[in-house]
Amino acid sequence: MKIIDLSGEYEGNYFVCLEEWSDELKEAGNHKENWYRKMKEKGLGVKLALNEDKKPVGMIQYIPIEYSFVQGRDLYFVLCIWVHGYKNKGVGNYQKQGIGKALIQAAEIDVKKRGSKGLVAWGVSLPVFMKALWFKKQGYAKVDKNGFLGQVLLWKPFSDDAIPPKWISSETKPETDPNKVTVTASISGWCPAYNMVFERAKRASLELGEQVVFNEINTLNKEVPEELAFSDSLFVNRKKINTGPPPSYKKIRKKISRELKKIKIL
């Protein structure tokens, strides 16, 4: 196994998070590529793990925390770390071989060279993707929590004067119209899985007619007020929809249709 910086040769793999075999991810559009083109000039770091055949089997991506969905300064933030784990798809299952540990250690070395005072990551309490327990085993400590889906914020400071990060807290909900169904989708572009959800919600909204309003919020746009910067989230009216794992187009359309029926009844 070899850890490398992302190069042009592997950009196509990176844009679909090493799942180039997935027909479903074709729905995600080119949001990830557009995000990458913007963020690579703002300090984005991407490391890939290659197997003996020089095929990417794992990845980690991290950005200056100022461009993330949490508050902090002089820190870097891990958007995601992923090791291919499908037995009968793509390159196969490479999990539980120490690749994730090697990737995060490489990222730590990199951000220290960039002058960062620490590395931050988000995790979930459930034993799924981005497990908080895994980060704790790598020396990361919990500094904040978010009630939505048991998300926690973890970090590893590199200096005594590092300031702990925290979630951006806001109780603000999207504005709605009582005579219409408002679908609000915020998007940055870094995650193909959410990009897929965004495209599905947009398509369903347009197909359901004029009584459905699709409101897009670009969270990379710093002119968007902080309280409205719901990072990569989906709302149908004022109800937040769970986007992980990505709901199907059929499920999203059903949720919108249900709200549409309420309006027609009234």
DSSP assignment of 135-196, as one string? HHHTT-EEEEEETGGGEEEEEEESSTTPPPPEE----------TTSEEEEEEE-SS-HHHHH
Torsion of CA 75, 189, 14, 96, to 10 degrees: 60
Which of 107, 141, 166 represents a domain boundary (last residue)?
166
Average pLDDT over residues 219-235: 68
pLDDT in tens, 61-103: 999 999 988 899 999 999 999 999 998 999 999 999 999 999 9
Residue 19 three-state SS: coil
Domain-located, residue 176:
no
Assess whether 10 and 141 both reside in one domain: yes
Distance from C-alpha of 167 to C-alpha of 51, rounded to nearest angstrom: 36
Which of 132, 166, 200 represents a domain boundary (last residue)?
166
- Structural domain of residue 155, as residue ranges? 2-166
Assess whether 76 and 145 both reside in one domain: yes
Residues in CB range of 170: below 8 A, 6 or more apart = 226, 227, 230
Residue 220 has pLDDT above 80, yes or no: no
Q: What is the DSSP string of 139-151?
A: T-EEEEEETGGGE
- Band of the pLDDT at 224, cuts 50, 70, 90? low
Domain-located, residue 192:
yes
- Band of the pLDDT at 148, cuts 50, 70, 90? low
Q: Please state, as a whole number, how many other Cβ atoms lie within 10 Å of the Cβ of residue 202.
A: 17
Q: What is the pLDDT of residue 217?
A: 87
Domain-located, residue 174:
no
Q: What is the pLDDT of residue 253?
A: 97
Domain-located, residue 171:
no
pLDDT in tens, 93-129: 999 999 999 999 999 999 999 999 999 999 988 767 8
Assess whether 24 and 53 both reside in one domain: yes
Q: What is the pLDDT of residue 227?
A: 47
Assess whether 121 and 223 both reside in one domain: no
Assess whether 159 and 245 both reside in one domain: no
Average pLDDT over residues 125-147: 88
